Amino acid sequence: MTVGYAYDPAFMAHDTGNHPESGQRLQAVLEHLAGCGLLEQLERLPVTRAAPRDLARVHTTAMIERVRDLSEGGGGFIDLDTVISRGSYEAACMASGAAITVCRAILDGQVDSAYALVRPPGHHATRRRSMGFCLFNHIAVAAAWALEQGGLSRVAVIDYDVHHGNGTEDILGADPRVLYVSLHQYPFYPGTGHWRDTGEADGKGSCINIPLPPNTGDKGFARAMQAIVLPALARFQPELILVSSGYDGHWVDPLAWMLLSTEGYRHLARLLCHAAQEFCAGRIGFVLEGGYHPQALAHSVATTISELLGQPYEDSLGPSGEPEADVEMVIQRIARWHDLEVSPLDDSSMAPG
């Protein structure tokens, strides 16, 4: 099994200073992957910079130019949370290019699966606005490329970052060729992602929002996968699965109040990999989003990659030990809203390990 990864040093040129989304995050990931022997087992995919037409499929010209001009002018703030430095425009273009690189390598059969290890993250960037630490929406760029250049007609985007991917829904929510599913803490930043929001225009019904209460952990996320995400994928029959893989739902992360463990993230990856094998010949690509505790982020990425490689991984951080929120009523309501048959509780499919 060949697993690829896309990384470029340009990502480190996005200088955010004393900010939760700093280069320390990605540096911790790379050092840990190298130290535990995973990096040497991956095929490095040379990253090609996203072309202007790639960005223009999902963002307005005015937005792209604003990021470029602010970056070339020495940097500044897009909003209170979102920093731009002199190297940020290039970093964001390369990060979107890395997401395309992953898609291309998978569709060409160069690798079985792949991971784009990028920063800045992307899923909050809307068609017209950079926000929430995000400049361009890399996974939307990749999905649009796969549909327009990759010859596909159905792409699924699964987002388990702790924050709702408002930008991805804004960009892709009217396209019936895309199934977008977001599992996120609610209410929480950016305030979107209500379960009644299901897409717009021709894409009505193609967005599934799964807002989960604080203190949802491994069992709650696994139950959402079992009862909603996997049946939705079976109905949609994607030709490619892309994952916005944020790890800020980890129980030690400082920016959220969820109870996922490293092993819980491995279980999510396992379920999605099994779905990819069943529905789209194993074609699955991951794009890094959030995760703001460097150690937890490094271990969570490593456990995802070890799952792609089919290898064991020891969760040194362990579970939170805190009681989890009961999400069954939420799950049942969302499944009925989307006309999905509510499956009974299956403890075996909910248990990490």
Q: What is the pLDDT of residues 58-71, one digit of tens each?
A: 999 999 999 999 99
In the structure encoding, which two tokens stand for residue 175, read together? 């396209």
Task: With CA atoms as reference, report the closest residue to 291 among 259, 243, 247, 245.
Answer: 247
Mean pLDDT along residues 193-208 = 98
Ordered by start, the domain boundaries in the chain are 3-350
Catalytic residue status for 163: no
Mean pLDDT along residues 12-36 = 98
pLDDT tens-digit map of 227-281: 999 999 999 999 999 999 999 999 999 999 999 999 999 999 999 999 999 999 9
Mean pLDDT along residues 124-138 = 98
Query: Mean pLDDT in the chain?
Result: 97
Whether this model's pTM surpasses 0.75: yes
Give the pLDDT score at 11.
98
Give the pLDDT score at 351.
60
User: CA 158 to CA 241: how far, in whole Å?
Assistant: 7
Confidence of residue 348 (pLDDT cuts 50, 70, 90): low
Q: Looking at the predicted structure, is the pLDDT value of residue 129 above 80?
A: yes
User: CA 133 to CA 199: how far, in whole Å?
Assistant: 24
Mean pLDDT along residues 270-298 = 98
Q: Which of 32, 59, 124, 164 is catalytic?
A: 124
- Domain 3-350 belongs to what topology? Arginase; Chain A (3.40.800)
Per residue, the 3-state secondary structure of 163-191, as one string, reads CCCHHHHHHHCCCCCEEEEEEEECCCCCC
In the three-class reduction of DSSP (H, G, I as helix; E, B as strand; rest coil), residue 114 is classed as strand
